[in-house]
């Protein structure tokens, strides 16, 4: 019979790692006497990253004493084989709450229920692959090894609250449907050559946590999520020349470029909210890459990007580009895309952030315009400094006038200027949380926000405080620091910049969305993720060993190589930045 050998708890603490501060609860220590297992946690226990650990589906982490002994052998008799520093392989060292004798990962099944002491538990998912385990044991590759060797451990949901203590017997009270073991479910997500029948069985297990079920549903649908919200590959690879058909001033600071195929053929359609990446000569002669949201109506025979003059590249596009010239353009991309539906929509923007939501407005007008009654409820909220700096005022106003369920609210932060009146109704005020609260916005709406980082952060908080589901609030950012990896506290939140120290002499790596290029220096960086971090370029990642695919990134152009090889290669046209390095000049969608 299986037995609970140790109950381990620990509260999160700050740990220094790679010149950053990690807030983590992976340090657990054994408890003498009984501990109460509650719905969300054990008494006295906590997690630093609630996005990946803890909560109802991951209330208790289980690891086997036999697996701890296995890794002690694999990593060296003193625990120093992988990371160089001797480790104490006692109970709780893998961050587990329950150290058990028995319950191996290749026998325990998702949906199994167990009685331990006064409480009953249900198996919900394997352990999440996470860099913190490598941090804890000074063994960076350990998250990948747990998957490769089939020893991940697993999480429990608390069915019946009650006290547990070391020495309690563990009795299985129910077998999970389809008898899919923890090890098999783990391999099904992270390893190649998946069996579709097993994927179908996995999504049919009621106890499987929602996140894992969604991942398997994505796999069944033929997409792992690596190509963005659409599940479709870009219309073309790399950069291609497009002809500048027209250059149109939209405001005192914003200019639109209309782009067409040189042979006048139809351009591949873009989705409302996507952006283009352009490559032009930089001020130092090297190519400069920037990304700009599409402001044109989806399905147009031309692409329209609208550029605010605030740097050398935007100045080049706004003042030196003329109709008839060609510029290099990458295919439309982006996950900030208007989702189909019938519920209310809030389109909220500031300044040049109007561009992607204007494309969304065009789509909504095409679907719900034409007068009459009914149609989707649309709220248009835009703020600019004054009439001179407000782009697309008349265009948006005309679209909204043709929609029976649309509301238009425009805010100017500067006082009214009689010499330059606004062509649309305007409130001379700031779009603050108080103003939003007074509007009576529908709480079931989906919101799309674009503008300066502070504007989006404040507006997002205000909307969530008003009752909107945070998952329905979508934002678009370019060239600014996005929310950091959960549990990670950067030394400073600063805009992307070249790495410190002597410039490298290797391939040129361009982070397109951040508008930054840097030479690769193998003496100071071992992966593209490390280079991005040295430049404070916003990234997503979790395992840092090529397992979880959280860091999958689109490649606009260039070649890369892996070291180490990931357990599964990502989709064509993408790479895993956590374990890759450039093999040529490289342009990444970051």
CATH of the domain at 78: 2.40.33.20
Say whether both 245 and 163 belong to one domain. no
pLDDT tens-digit readout, 3-51: 999 999 999 998 888 777 888 888 999 999 999 999 999 999 998 877 6
In this structure, is residue 90 part of a structural domain?
yes
If you average pLDDT over every residue of the chain, what do you get?
A: 88
Distances (CA, A) of 394 to 410, 421, 482: 12, 13, 32
Say whether both 22 and 80 belong to one domain. yes
pLDDT of residue 82: 47
pLDDT of residue 476: 83
Say whether both 33 and 131 belong to one domain. yes
CATH code (residue 520): 3.10.20.30
Say whether both 170 and 93 belong to one domain. yes
Q: Which long-range contacts (CB under 8 A, 24 or more apart) does 314-317 make?
A: 314/290, 316/280, 316/281, 317/255, 317/257, 317/278, 317/280
In this structure, is residue 515 part of a structural domain?
yes
Say whether both 61 and 193 belong to one domain. yes
pLDDT tens-digit readout, 65-77: 999 999 998 887 4
How many CB atoms within 10 Å of residue 522?
11
The span from the CA of 397 to the CA of 425, in Å, is 9
Residues in the chain: 590
The total number of structural domains in the chain stands at 4
Say whether both 184 and 272 belong to one domain. no
Q: Which of 333, 361, 382 is the last residue of a domain?
A: 333
In this structure, is residue 139 part of a structural domain?
yes
In this structure, is residue 43 part of a structural domain?
yes
In this structure, is residue 226 part of a structural domain?
no
DSSP alpha helix (H) spans, 165-292: 182-190, 196-203, 210-220
CATH code (residue 322): 2.40.30.10
pLDDT of residue 373: 52
In this structure, is residue 202 part of a structural domain?
yes
pLDDT tens-digit readout, 418-476: 878 888 888 999 999 999 999 999 989 999 999 988 899 899 999 999 999 888 999 88
Q: Which of 220, 247, 266 is the last residue of a domain?
A: 220
pLDDT tens-digit readout, 294-343: 999 888 889 999 999 988 888 889 999 999 999 999 999 888 999 888 89
Say whether both 82 and 202 belong to one domain. yes
Q: What's the whole-model pTM score?
A: 0.76
pLDDT of residue 489: 60
CATH code (residue 372): 3.40.50.80
In this structure, is residue 393 part of a structural domain?
yes
Say whether both 455 and 537 belong to one domain. no
Say whether both 206 and 262 belong to one domain. no
In this structure, is residue 349 part of a structural domain?
yes
Domain that holds residue 159: 2-220
How many CB atoms within 10 Å of residue 502?
10
pLDDT of residue 341: 87
Tokens of 292: 């700009």
Tokens of 248: 């149109």
Say whether both 180 and 272 belong to one domain. no
Band of residue 251 on the pLDDT scale cut at 50, 70, 90: very high
Band of residue 86 on the pLDDT scale cut at 50, 70, 90: very low
Band of residue 492 on the pLDDT scale cut at 50, 70, 90: low
Distances (CA, A) of 273 to 197, 347, 501, 503, 556: 36, 11, 38, 36, 19
Say whether both 244 and 112 belong to one domain. no
Say whether both 45 and 75 belong to one domain. yes
Q: Which of 442, 476, 510 is the last residue of a domain?
A: 476
Band of residue 230 on the pLDDT scale cut at 50, 70, 90: very low
pLDDT of residue 232: 65
pLDDT tens-digit readout, 380-413: 999 999 999 999 999 999 999 999 899 999 999 9
Band of residue 178 on the pLDDT scale cut at 50, 70, 90: very high
In this prediction, residues 532-550 reach a mean pLDDT of 85
pLDDT tens-digit readout, 168-177: 999 999 999 9
Instruction: Report helix angle 182-190 to 210-220, nearest 10.
Output: 50
Q: Are 58 and 124 in contact (CB under 8 A)?
A: yes
Residue 502 has what DSSP assignment? S
**Which one of 85-89, 107-111, 263-267 scores highest in mean pLDDT?**
107-111
pLDDT tens-digit readout, 197-226: 999 999 999 999 988 998 899 888 874 333
The span from the CA of 590 to the CA of 588, in Å, is 6
């Amino acid at each position: 019979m299986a037995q609970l050998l140790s109950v381990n708890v620990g509260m999160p603490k700050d740990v220094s790692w790679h010149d950053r501060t990690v807030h983590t609860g992976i340090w657990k220590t054994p408890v003498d006497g009984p501990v109460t297992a509650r719905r969300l946690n054990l008494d006295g226990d906590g997690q630093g990253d609630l996005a990946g650990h803890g909560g109802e589906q991951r209330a208790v982490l289980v690891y086997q004493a036999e697996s701890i002994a296995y890794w002690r052998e694999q990593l060296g008799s003193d625990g120093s084989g992988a990371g160089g520093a001797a480790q104490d392989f006692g109970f709780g060292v893998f961050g587990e709450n329950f150290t058990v004798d028995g319950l191996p990962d290749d026998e325990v099944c998702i949906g199994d229920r167990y009685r331990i002491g006064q409480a009953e538990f249900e198996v919900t998912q394997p352990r999440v692959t996470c860099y913190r385990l490598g941090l804890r044991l000074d063994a960076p590759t350990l998250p990948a090894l747990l998957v490769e060797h089939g020893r991940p451990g697993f999480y429990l949901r608390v069915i019946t609250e009650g006290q547990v203590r070391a020495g309690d017997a563990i009795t299985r009270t129910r077998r999970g449907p389809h008898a899919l073991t923890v090890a098999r479910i783990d391999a099904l997500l992270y390893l190649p050559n998946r069996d579709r029948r097993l994927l179908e069985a996995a999504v049919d297990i009621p106890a499987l946590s929602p996140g894992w079920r969604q991942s398997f549903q994505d796999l069944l649908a033929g997409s792992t999520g690596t190509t963005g919200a659409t599940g479709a590959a870009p219309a073309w690879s790399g950069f291609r020349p497009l002809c500048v058909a027209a250059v149109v001033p939209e405001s005192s600071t914003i200019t639109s470029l209309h782009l067409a195929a040189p042979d006048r053929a139809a351009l591949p359609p873009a989705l409302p909210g996507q952006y283009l990446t352009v490559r032009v000569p930089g001020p130092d002669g090297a190519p400069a890459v920037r990304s700009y949201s599409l402001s044109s109506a989806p399905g147009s025979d031309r692409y329209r990007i609208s550029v605010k003059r605030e740097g050398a590249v935007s100045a080049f596009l706004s003042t030196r580009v003329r109709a008839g010239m060609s510029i290099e353009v990458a295919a439309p991309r982006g996950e900030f895309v208007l989702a189909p539906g019938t519920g209310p929509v809030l389109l909220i923007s500031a300044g040049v952030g109007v561009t992607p939501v204007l494309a969304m407005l065009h789509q909504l007008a095409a679907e719900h315009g034409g007068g009459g009654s009914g149609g989707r409820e649309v709220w248009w909220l835009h703020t600019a400094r004054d009439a001179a700096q407000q782009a697309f005022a008349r265009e948006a106003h005309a679209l909204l006038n043709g929609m029976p369920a649309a509301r238009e609210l425009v805010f100017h932060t500067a006082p009214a200027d009689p010499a330059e009146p606004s062509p649309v109704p305007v409130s001379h005020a700031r779009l603050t949380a108080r103003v939003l609260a007074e509007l009576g916005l529908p709480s079931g709406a989906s919101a799309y926000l674009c503008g300066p980082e502070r504007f989006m952060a404040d507006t997002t908080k205000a909307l969530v405080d008003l009752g909107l589901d945070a998952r329905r609030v979508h934002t678009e950012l370019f060239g600014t620091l996005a929310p950091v990896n959960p549990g990670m506290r950067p030394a400073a939140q600063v805009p992307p910049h070249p790495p410190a120290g002597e410039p490298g002499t290797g391939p040129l790596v361009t982070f397109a969305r951040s508008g930054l290029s840097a030479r690769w220096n193998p003496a100071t960086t071992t992966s593209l993720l490390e280079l991005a971090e040295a430049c404070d370029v916003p990234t997503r990642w979790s395992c840092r060993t090529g397992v979880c695919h959280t860091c999958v990134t689109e490649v606009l152009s260039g070649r890369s190589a892996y070291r180490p090889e990931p357990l599964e290669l990502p989709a064509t046209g993408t790479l895993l930045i956590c374990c890759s390095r450039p093999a040529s000049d490289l342009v990444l969608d970051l």
